[in-house]
Amino acid sequence: MTDKLTHFDENGRPQMVDVSRKQESIRRAVARGYVSFTPDIYDMIKNGNSSKGDIRLVAELAGIIGAKRTSDLIPLCHPLPLSGVSVTVISDDHLNSFVVTAEVKTSGKTGVEMEALTAVSVACLTIYDMAKSLDKAILIEKIELQEKSGGKSGDYHRAAEAS
């Protein structure tokens, strides 16, 4: 593990990391986040009774677009040719929440963790935007990397939480 931030040069100036000498490999990342509602509004959205239609499908599409635009949003991210992006929004009745999951894949010299995290963030924000007139208590939380594979640093899997 490195003991310095690689996005700064020896003079402390920001830099895009030089990946030209890295080996290409298959890269994959999965991220997850939650959007929570009051019970009545959660049920309304889950059952598709919002005047805006199925908010979840719009959020899934927005997440895919977000993954594709990550390098436009995060200043030092490399633009990557993504080979696959999947975003799903599922209901969690126990938490009155929608669980947003993104899986991003590429074959390249740098990973897709930021693309997966951006996809989840944009999808969560889209749900918020489409439902904000219905519920002022919306909570976006726990956006996190679940797993990644490929590259020199190897695989990562977030430890399961105790219930």
Catalytic residue among 72, 129, 135, 155: 129
This prediction's pTM: 0.90
- Helical ranges in 19-134 per DSSP H: 39-46, 55-68, 70-73, 113-131
Instruction: For residue 75, give both structure tokens.
Output: 């200043």
On whether the CB atoms of residues 67 and 153 are closer than 8 A, the answer is: no
Residue linked to tokens 């679940």: 146
- Helical ranges in 11-111 per DSSP H: 39-46, 55-68, 70-73
pLDDT (tens digit per residue) in 38-69 = 999 999 999 887 777 789 999 999 999 999 99
pLDDT (tens digit per residue) in 133-143 = 998 899 999 99
Structural domains of the chain, ranges and CATH numbers in brackets: 25-149 (3.30.70.640)
Residue 129 annotated among the catalytic residues of the structure? yes
**Sheet containing 97-108: which strands, arranged edge to edge?**
82-92, 97-108, 25-36, 139-149, 156-157
Alpha-carbon distance of 130 to 124, in angstroms, equals 10
